[in-house]
Every structure is written in structure tokens, then in C-alpha cells.
Structure 1
């Protein structure tokens, strides 16, 4: 093994492509288990990312990382539930995370702060992190991915790093997924979003003070997220075909649709736009394959669903937590790799499909909230052990029972007595 300009050798147990929540969580937890991990990210942190509202499911990996108290200390605002103007009568209704069980809150946060917090924790736990590093290609030997080639911003040289496992957590860049797997776009969720930020906003009343606001309009919906003090993230989502048919720019469409809201326009009546517009489109997808020989996907690199219930960070970090446990076992017992990653992939796809199917059903705004509660119950609690509202809240919290297949994944039965020790396995 040769040293490079960073002062570390080029061979690792795991290389993680991407230092966002999925990649940083995977790297941190593997480092915590004593493995040698390299993280490569093409950006320099802190860096901007949309997705400021979290759900309670994210608190499970944050506690595992020892970050819950730090999130509080940084002043992230607690989020206790949601307020919706949604359904056939458009009467506002609320839900509280406390209805769903053991974790009654999550946070709203500037993603630049959250993402940097998790990546710094990975460093603390021993991960090597290289920023401004763009992965150019994988290194293959005998059909197996054994490393990556990467370049540093502003430098011509290409570097190599090798590892026993490569994790793609590169988000929608899909560095490995794009090379080894086809992607399936979900036609019912081919949407476009345009968003910006406002200062000096009003708040929802009483117990709704820190709720996320989700307000439907005739052809789409808005989110309103109180980040801190009077700052709101506000975004409009509609079908891509609707946006095109309107004949308006996304910015003009955003402005005209705000006028058709009820609660949101009241919150913004004295506000000042404090940033430019950003947009994204056609982002609901899943890779056909979540793993291959020497590689595995996690987070948005694997799949992403519409932002309606803010599931992105929770799904990414929960899956990362599970993946770190699976890879830990694979590094000790290499012969279980194929079946262990296959189990991870199946469970991940089931978890993702639950969220996607529910979001698709929820987009039918001709129904009442009772319909949405029952839809959640039919999906995650067909035996009706809980009230339908409880099942709804568990689902939108990222804590529903059926999703436990991913979070409680166990591969111990694949390990046979007398397997090689970790040292022997690496020889």
C-alpha cells in the first residue's frame, strides 16, 4: 500500500461515495465498529441542500450516532406534527407525532447544518473524509468492484482507492447505480417543484406553531416549513405536464398559485422573499438493482420518493444504519455477502414501496382524512391492531411496523459455526 498526499494509505475496508446523511451515517457507524472507511464527496461542507423538515424516524440513527443532544444544542426547531389543507372539503386538519408512539417529535433544520453535523461525527469516529473529490469511475477486478478512481477539484491527477466494499451514497448523481443498474421512474409522481425562502413570516396558531404546513391547490400543493425565527422554506409541487401546460415560468406559477391558498398566504402576508428560486423535476425513482458484486446503494442513490411527507433523510439514514450492520457482518464473514445484500435490498425496496404507494394514494385529494387513515392502516396494519389514525401517524413518521423488516434485518443465520475470523477473512 502506498501513501498519497492526504497521509493515508489507499486501501480501506469500505469506500463511501457521498458525504450526505446516508453516506455519513454509513461511514460513521462502520467506523464506530472499528472499520477503516473512506468518504469521498464532490462538494465542500457545509453545502446547500433542500429538505429542511425531518420526521421522527430520523431520530433512531441520530441517537445511534450520539447526535440527539447536539441537534438540540444547535437550536434546531422541534417539529411535533403537521397541518394539512387537503381532501375533498379542504378543511384544515392536523396530526401529532405523539399519536404514533415512542418518538413524539423530529426537527426542522437548515440542511447545511445537519449534513455537516453528521459528516463531522463520521470524522470523530475515525472515518477519513475527502471533500472536493469527484469519483470518475469504479475499479473492477474479475467482475468485482474493488475501488474507485477520483479527482480533486483544481488538480489534474487522478487518485485510486481500494476497498473490500464500495457504498454508493452519492444521491441523485447515482455514481455506481448509473453504471450498473437501470432506473425506474414512477409515472404517477413525475412532478416538478419550485421553492424559495421567506423572512418575517407569521406562524400557525397554538399547538400548530412548529408544524409543517401542507396545503393543496387545484393542480398541486405547497409546503411551508418554519426553519428558525421567522424564516420559512416554501415550495410548490405540481405535475410536470401541468407546469408545462400552464404556459408560465415556474417562478410565475409559484406566485400565482400562492394567491389560491388560504393558510399559506396568511403566513406570508407580511413576509419578504429572502432568496432566489430553485427547482427540481421528475425525482421519484428507484434503481432496479440495489447491490452487485462488491457494491451497494443507499439513500437517494438507491431510490427517492416525492417530498410530500419529508421522508428523504429518515429513509436514507435508517437504511444506512441497517446497511452498516450488514456490511460489518460481511467484512467478518465474506461468504454471506450475496445473500446478506440481497436481504437488505429486498427489505429496502419493500420499505420504499410502502411509502411510494401511500404517497400515490394520498395524492387523490377527492377523499377525506378518514380515507387516508384507512389507506395507511390497510398497508401497514391489515389486522387492524391499532386505530387507523395511529397507523397513519406511524407511517408518516417512518416508524410503521411493516417497515421493521428493514430496520430489524438479521443475517446471523447466514453465518456458519467455524467461519473465518476477521483477520483471517482479510488475508
Structure 2
């Protein structure tokens, strides 16, 4: 029997959290193998990055590569609902730090991060699917299959699951848990946008609320090559069963006058995809010799583009804890990883809940916004959801509830 392929750390998945984690561990001097089921580039959503991501990319040593790749510059977010329109400029945030970012086609972006990780010495094994795991011994053991069905054994001191929506360890170890969110469905794809509206700002993601259903919303994410990502999110029962996804998406877009006008010349030349019931949670973010990163652990909702930010934050926290553990220092994975990660995730959760019940929409579309409060909210929209100097992070729910009440009373 062949000996297992050995590594200090094995990472499952070469997406943003996996590549960032791999690069950080290599900077600390550890041997890393990434097992990736697919071959990059490949299609993925989560295309509108937040400025907080750039801090993590910088720490991983990849910032120059990302800046030089020609991605669409992004400096904020715009929200529209009927005649109401508001913008958040991320440079005007409360929290110190980078205030701009990029809008990226994830196939090319993820491939760039993986290439940078490989350049730093991470060993990426492409088209390798993890079939089973065993954490009962001194080392973690993985059984892996290639695309021809050949089986390989791997062993490592620690495993990081960065498999995203594949959720490898949650499935294999029975860790999955209900998210608590309603079952929502997204229809989305890439288009040749042909936008000629001079008022449209390609440097911002545009979020449009459906004119009649406040819990239904659209995203429009411009890229640097004349194309855009466009999608709609609603509860599953909102859609017409059996009807073509592309036809439904186009019809819904034109139910909103403003969005329909912006995309009046658009060519829907790619397949329209769907994702159902994407919100997910787990019983635990860590266990004996493993931890879950990003979407493998928890995914909230696409409304504030928080997925990649949370994924990269999890990579930062996990690799820092792992470095201390490998150096013989005591590590409490609940105190040092799970709880710090959840603090930011819970901040985003408060704002996601408030978006769908209308409270946050009442806040952002209020006609008399206080600049200092807007700056605090802007920090969260920019991804700085772990900054407890921000009152809307430290006491997110109570602060937002009070603010929503004040906005409603003043309407």
C-alpha cells in the first residue's frame, strides 16, 4: 500500500479563503497542500468585494497582484427603491483602513489568488475530491479521488475546510445545522450590459429594491470589460415554477423602471443560473485537528456581499491560531477562532435581518441622514464588521432598532 501524501496542513478548496490561508501559512514557514475539486478558472458568484478584503489580501502578500489585474474599481454601494436613491462612499467610513476595492469576475480573481499562493510555495493538487476523512488518530487522514477515479491517501497535522458551498467536512462529519433564514432563491448571470446612462456609476454595486415587494431585490455589479453580473433574490415561492430562469430574470428587471432603463440595451448572452437555499450553518466551526473557513462554516445572504470578507477573515483568524498551536502555545479554538469570527458574522446577521423586514431600508432611504451615523453604517457595508469601536458593531441590534424607530417616527 502506498504511503499517504504528507503535509503539515491540508486545505480543502482553492477559493479565496483557501488561497489566503495557504499563503499566510507559507509565510509562517509551514508546508501546505490544497486539494481542489475543480480546475480554475471556474464560475462563481460573490463578485463585489468589500474594502476589508483588501486588508486581508495585503496581509497575505497578494495586494500588488490584485491591483495590477485590471479589475473594476469599486468605491461604494448605491441603493435604489422607486424614486429613492442613496449612495455610500466607502472612503467616508468610521473605521480606519482601506476604503476602496474591486468588482471581479470570480473565475479570474480566484485563479489569480491561487496562482499567487502557488508562487509562494503552496502545493495545489487540482481536480482532487475528498471522499472520506478520519480524525481519530494522531494525524488527520483523507481519502481523495482524482477525475479518473484513482484513490489517494493524504495525511496532515491539521485540515482547514475552505470548500465553500461544497461544505465537505460538514457533510462528511454530520455538522450541518439549519440557518434560521427562509429558503431564498437567486437567479443570476453575466450580461453584456451596454449601459449608456450617464448617471450610472460603474464604480459602485447597485442594489435595487423591487417596487412592490420590499423583500425582493436585484444586484447589478459592473465589471471592467463592459459586462456585468446581474441577479435577483426572493423567497423561493415568489418565482413562477417551471418558467425559464432567463425569461423570469429579464421580466423582473423590467418591473422596476429605473433598473429597466439602465439595462434597456443589455444582451443576455450567457446562461442564467440559480441557487436555492444557500444560507447555511454548522454545529461547530472546529473540531479535533480541523476548522471550517468561510462558506464551509456559515453563509448568511448575498445582500451585503459579506461572503468573501467573512471567508478571508476566517482564514486570518484560523491561521493565526494554528501558528500558535504549532509553536506549542495553548489555543482555545472557541475563544481564539469561533467567537471572534462570529462577532462579525453576527453583526452582518443583524443587518441582513433588518434588510428583509424593512427596518434597514427605512434607515438608508431616510431623507435626513446624520453624517456621523452614516459613516458608522458605511463601515459595516465596507466589511469592517469586527470593529468594536463602532457602536453599530458593538451594540448592533439595539442601535439599529433605535435608529429604525427614529427614522420611521420622522417619516
Same fold flag (TM > 0.5): yes
Match of 1:212 in 2: 205
Match of 2:217 in 1: 221
Q: Does the CA-based 8 Å contact 1:81-1:105 persist in structure 2?
A: yes
CA distance in 2, matches of 1:305, 1:90: 29
Match of 1:359 in 2: 352
Question: Given the alignment of the two structures, is residue 151 of structure 1 paired with residue 145 of structure 2, yes or no?
Answer: yes
Match of 2:97 in 1: 102
Show the 5 A alignment for 1:362-401.
362-365=355-358, 369-370=362-363, 387-401=372-386
Q: In the TM superposition, what is the alpha-carbon distance from 1:191 to its structure 2 partner?
A: 0.8
Q: In the TM superposition, what is the alpha-carbon distance from 1:84 to its structure 2 partner?
A: 0.7
Q: What count of residue pairs does the alignment treat as equivalent?
A: 383
Q: 1:10 to 1:186 in 2, by over 3 A?
A: closer
Q: In the TM superposition, what is the alpha-carbon distance from 1:189 to its structure 2 partner?
A: 4.2
Q: Does the CA-based 8 Å contact 2:55-2:97 persist in structure 1?
A: no
Match of 2:292 in 1: 297
Q: In the TM superposition, what is the alpha-carbon distance from 1:181 to its structure 2 partner?
A: 4.3
Q: Does the CA-based 8 Å contact 1:291-1:342 persist in structure 2?
A: no
Question: Given the alignment of the two structures, is residue 163 of structure 1 paired with residue 156 of structure 2, yes or no?
Answer: yes
Question: Given the alignment of the two structures, is residue 188 of structure 1 paired with residue 181 of structure 2, yes or no?
Answer: yes
Q: Does the CA-based 8 Å contact 1:204-1:210 persist in structure 2?
A: no
TM, length-normalised to structure 2 = 0.86
CA distance in 2, matches of 1:333, 1:300: 29
CA distance in 2, matches of 1:84, 1:37: 42
CA distance in 1, matches of 2:181, 2:292: 24
1:347-385 deviation digits (Å, cap 9, x = unpaired): 222221211221110123376553689xxxxxxxxxx9x
CA distance in 2, matches of 1:330, 1:204: 54
Match of 1:329 in 2: 324
Question: Given the alignment of the two structures, is residue 176 of structure 1 paired with residue 161 of structure 2, yes or no?
Answer: no
Q: Does the CA-based 8 Å contact 2:19-2:113 persist in structure 1?
A: yes
Q: 1:160 to 1:366 in 2, by over 3 A?
A: closer
* SS of residue paired to 1:71: helix
CA distance in 2, matches of 1:30, 1:203: 46
Q: 1:201 to 1:300 in 2, by over 3 A?
A: same
CA distance in 2, matches of 1:365, 1:183: 29
Stretches of structure 1 lacking an aligned partner (at least 5 in a row): 4-8, 374-383, 406-427
Match of 2:124 in 1: 129
Q: 1:168 to 1:366 in 2, by over 3 A?
A: closer
1:50-79 deviation digits (Å, cap 9, x = unpaired): 121111011011111222222222111110
